[in-house]
Structure 1
Amino acid sequence: MEQIGLEVLLIFVLLLINGLFSMSEIAVVSARHVRLQKLADEGNLGAKAAIKLTESPDRFLSTVQIGITLVGVLLGAFGGATLAFHLVPFVEKIAIFKPFAREISFGLVVLIITYFSLVIGELVPKRIGLNAPERIAALISRPMNFISKMTAPAVWLLSESTKALLKLLRQKKSDETSVTEEEIRAILIEGTTEGVIEKTEEELMKNVINLDDQSISALMTPRTKIAWIDLNDSSEVIKKKIENSPYSRRLVADKDLDNIHGFIKAKDLLDLYLSGGFSNIRSIVKNPIFIPETTSALEVLQNFRDSNTHLAVIIDEFGSTQGIVTTNDILEAIVGDLPFDGITNESAVQREDGSWLLDARLSNTEYRDVLGMDELPEDEFGMYETLAGFVIKRLEKLPATGDRFDWGAYSFEVVDMDGTRVDRVLVSPKEI
């Protein structure tokens, strides 16, 4: 009985060794290079060794197969020949099985060993390897490297034989597989399902990926809806166009939109008007960029960055204007439709006389965009983040209802206070 116990123990150890090889194989194959590299950068020596294993898959897989094959041979030798011999006397006690006792004993041993080999030597280890591939790969990589060196001649023979056979089959060695767009989308969906990524984050990242596939013509303001100024318009007509349009930038053309001269900012128009009218409107015209209608949204975004411009004219193959696009259009393609300038109607209300009633909580960027202001004084920018902060800085005291001051082309008046907090500010163009 003692001998049988030792043989069973030996078979169990062989099954564990087989499981170790199986777990190593699935862990290294499934481990993500980016995660291994991160562990290696943190000083994990096992991760560095695992990266080397992934760079030489033929050598690693040959080592694993040598180990698994050797274990299989030993299991067959000890299981079939030894345990079956000990099982024969028990089977012979059953009269009907006595003539076939050896065959039945051998079959039972093979069946039992196969079961435990699948469970202990394959399924459970591989499941463990899949659950934490990078951690397992880093843990077993150095022992596997050692085994690989010990079995180097056999590994070399198997590797070269594999390469020769693949060459005969005309199977070329594939380059390292790059991450595809579909894989990134799948990872986003998986991350959202598991709660690692928020749904909003998933949508934003998907929209960013879509930019390169989206034609700018789908995002542009079409020609029929462009707010523009004709160089031949009278000052009164230009003034009415400005009053009826909420945009901070407008195209300037000569008679029609196929003769575009550029665009102008609302602030520059106001400054020009306050200095004597619109007679010299050409002096404030800025050059836009012209982009073919087949250009992707991502390329347009890159053009905006390179040219430091926020407006582009979209043209067709004949040079005819099809529409315009701004940085805000690109932003909406990523985050979805936004209210005007990202501000609610209650936060920024334009009155009939052209003045603005603004919520004092508007950020510097928001109220500057509404008013068409280029920038705040350099020595003050960064000292406050909202319109209320700007008002307090200019007044140099705690504001009160009725306090007012002029800055640039505008007059600012505090019209509502909520205790000590500035609530509403009326901003009007300065009278000439």
Structure 2
Amino acid sequence: MGDGTRGHLRTASRGRFHGPRHHHAPSGNRLLTDIMERFELLVVGCMVLVNAIFAAYEIALASVSTARLRSLVESGHTGARSALLMKDGMEKSLAVVQLGITLVGLIAGATGGATAGRDIAPLFESIGFSPGAAQGLAITWVVVPLTIITIIIGELVPKLFAIRHKEWVCLELSPFMRSFAAVSWPIVWLLESSASGLMALSERIWRPQSHWAGRSEAAEILELRSMASLARASRLIGDREERIIVGAARLASRQLGEIMLPAEHISMLELTEPLSACLVTAHLDMHTRFPVARRKGDPQSIVGYVTIKDIIAVLRFSPHEPSLSGILRAIPDLRDDMPISSALERLLREHTHIALVRDASGRVAGLITLEDIVEELLGDIQDEYDLLPIHVVRSGNGWVVGGGAGLAKYRDLSAIDLARKELPESVHNISGWIIHHLGVSPRGGETVEASGVRAVVRKVRRQRVLEAFLERLPTNEP
């Protein structure tokens, strides 16, 4: 075989060997390109999901309360201890979250930018755009949809989810976040230190005005009320517990003058009055503590107070030398502009249940009791004497009637219509009828004559008639 023939065969052989490989190369490039595109899309999707995790954890950790996390730790919930440690170091936790979000954003942006430069920019160049313009349009084409997806899936949805399920998010993600913080501690330390230093510098340069503190306190009280309402709506607490929380929040912002019993309505005893008469007064007014005044009915001359137990004890053990002065107790004075919370602390500290309230000039403006303050927390407290009785019992020529007895019931039993004259809608029982005709708060022994009836007040409780004696007026009387 000649050299020419061998050369030809070698050439043909090389052609047969290299030809197929040259033919299949474009197909392999396309496959590799498809794999890279799918991988880049997967990376971007994963980064959006990781961003959602960091965003959810950030809002959940900021929303959950430290007290609640401590309770979960005591209950032995998994992840609660890690969550509490992250909550206690809030500056470090925010640095960890921000580092994670920044890294995720950089990776997603770099991946999207590479895709834009390799695959999308040539499309714009093919329709006549310059390379620079095509590159800018390609980046915009990638960034805008990626931004919208990140905002919705990576920010809004996870944050809304975290607000509704903050405890679950904190407990599930805190162990991972602590591990991430341990791995990246040099960067986290740098971010935390820089942020703390700049914060301290800004606080030295910019000092808030004093009135902002008051607004912040009011906002915190409003937030407390909102949290109580949310807890009730979530059935974590009941209506009564919510009222207690709201009432406690109001104590510091309200003054004694708003809840005190006015001076003209104070039931008091006279210092020189016989103890037997004092006992009758106590029985009629149904109180357990009575201020004692030097001059009858003058609240400005109050010198102390006595209890019904002390009166009974003196009458029992010293019946021959009974005296109010011997059992008189000191009564504290409080200013009418004092916050209710401060008054509560004062009463508890001095172990007393009653105090006089004085105005700026030093005059007695009213009376406050520990029960009045407690009612601001719990609502109206009714004991066995607060529920007006409804009995109507025949007694001689008249009737002993409970203050809660309705006018219609009394009419049916006595054939006397007390409502024959037009009355306000609020007057529907004997107590209201007597108070309406008196025009002032009732006192034991006072008399009302109206509608052909004489009503004698027998017992009073908290400015309401507990019991009265009613009899028909003789025809020769008006």
TM-score using structure 2 length: 0.60
State how many pairs are aligned: 353
Q: 1:344 aligns with which of 379, 382, 387?
A: 387
- Give the deviation of 1:127 after TM superposition: 2.5
> Quick one: distance in 2 between partners of 1:29 and 1:235?
64
Q: 2:261 aligns with which of 191, 208, 221?
A: 221
CA contact 1:222–1:324 (8 Å) conserved in 2: yes
Q: Given the alignment of the two structures, is residue 290 of structure 1 paired with residue 332 of structure 2, yes or no?
A: yes
The range that moved more, 269-278 or 241-250, is 269-278
- Give the deviation of 1:132 after TM superposition: 1.9
Q: 1:114 aligns with which of 147, 151, 157?
A: 147
Letter in 2 for 1:311: I
After superposition, where does 1:25-424 map in structure 2 within 5 Å?
25-44=58-77, 46-82=79-115, 84-87=117-120, 104-170=137-203, 180-192=220-232, 197-233=237-273, 241=281, 244-255=284-295, 257=298, 258-260=300-302, 262-266=304-308, 269=311, 280-282=322-324, 285-294=327-336, 295-315=338-358, 321-337=364-380, 342-346=385-389
Letter in 1 for 2:355: A
* Structure 1 residue matching 2:324: 3-state secondary structure: helix
> Quick one: distance in 2 between partners of 1:41 and 1:326?
39
Residue 182 to residue 348, structure 1, CA distance change in 2 (3 Å): farther
Q: Give the root-mean-square deviation of aligned CA atoms.
A: 4.3
* Structure 1 residue matching 2:47: 3-state secondary structure: helix
Show CA shifts across 1:356-413 (max 9, x none): 999xxxxxxxxxxxxxxxxxxxxxxxxxxxxxxxxxxxxxxxxxxxxxxxxxxxxxxx
Residue 126 to residue 234, structure 1, CA distance change in 2 (3 Å): closer
Show CA shifts across 1:30-74 (max 9, x none): 332112222222234522222222333343333333332222222
CA contact 1:16–1:121 (8 Å) conserved in 2: yes
CA contact 1:84–1:109 (8 Å) conserved in 2: no
CA contact 1:215–1:296 (8 Å) conserved in 2: yes
> Quick one: distance in 2 between partners of 1:194 and 1:10?
39
Show CA shifts across 1:329-366 (max 9, x none): 3344444556675432227899999xx999xxxxxxxx
* Structure 2 residue matching 1:289: 3-state secondary structure: coil
* Structure 2 residue matching 1:208: 3-state secondary structure: helix
The range that moved more, 269-278 or 142-151, is 269-278
Letter in 1 for 2:305: F
CA contact 1:85–1:105 (8 Å) conserved in 2: no
CA contact 2:304–2:329 (8 Å) conserved in 1: yes
The range that moved more, 269-278 or 286-295, is 269-278
CA contact 2:279–2:311 (8 Å) conserved in 1: no
Residue 218 to residue 145, structure 1, CA distance change in 2 (3 Å): closer
Q: What is aligned with 2:457?
A: none
> Quick one: distance in 2 between partners of 1:164 and 1:238?
71
> Quick one: distance in 1 between partners of 2:77 and 2:280?
69
Residue 83 to residue 5, structure 1, CA distance change in 2 (3 Å): farther
- Give the deviation of 1:306 after TM superposition: 4.3
More RCO (CA 8 Å, sep 6+): 1
Letter in 2 for 1:158: L
- Give the deviation of 1:265 after TM superposition: 3.8
**Structure 1 alignment gaps of length 5 or more:** 359-432
Letter in 2 for 1:188: A
- Give the deviation of 1:169 after TM superposition: 3.9
* Structure 2 residue matching 1:343: 3-state secondary structure: coil
Determine which structure has more spread, i.e. the larger CA radius of gyration: 2
* Structure 1 residue matching 2:79: 3-state secondary structure: helix
> Quick one: distance in 2 between partners of 1:63 and 1:236?
78
> Quick one: distance in 1 between partners of 2:168 and 2:382?
48
Letter in 1 for 2:386: I
**Structure 2 alignment gaps of length 5 or more:** 1-33, 208-215, 403-478
TM-score using structure 1 length: 0.65
- Give the deviation of 1:136 after TM superposition: 1.4
Identity of aligned residues (%): 26
Show CA shifts across 1:54-99 (max 9, x none): 3333433333333322222222222222355234676678x57798
CA contact 2:57–2:162 (8 Å) conserved in 1: yes
Residue 160 to residue 349, structure 1, CA distance change in 2 (3 Å): same
Letter in 1 for 2:373: I
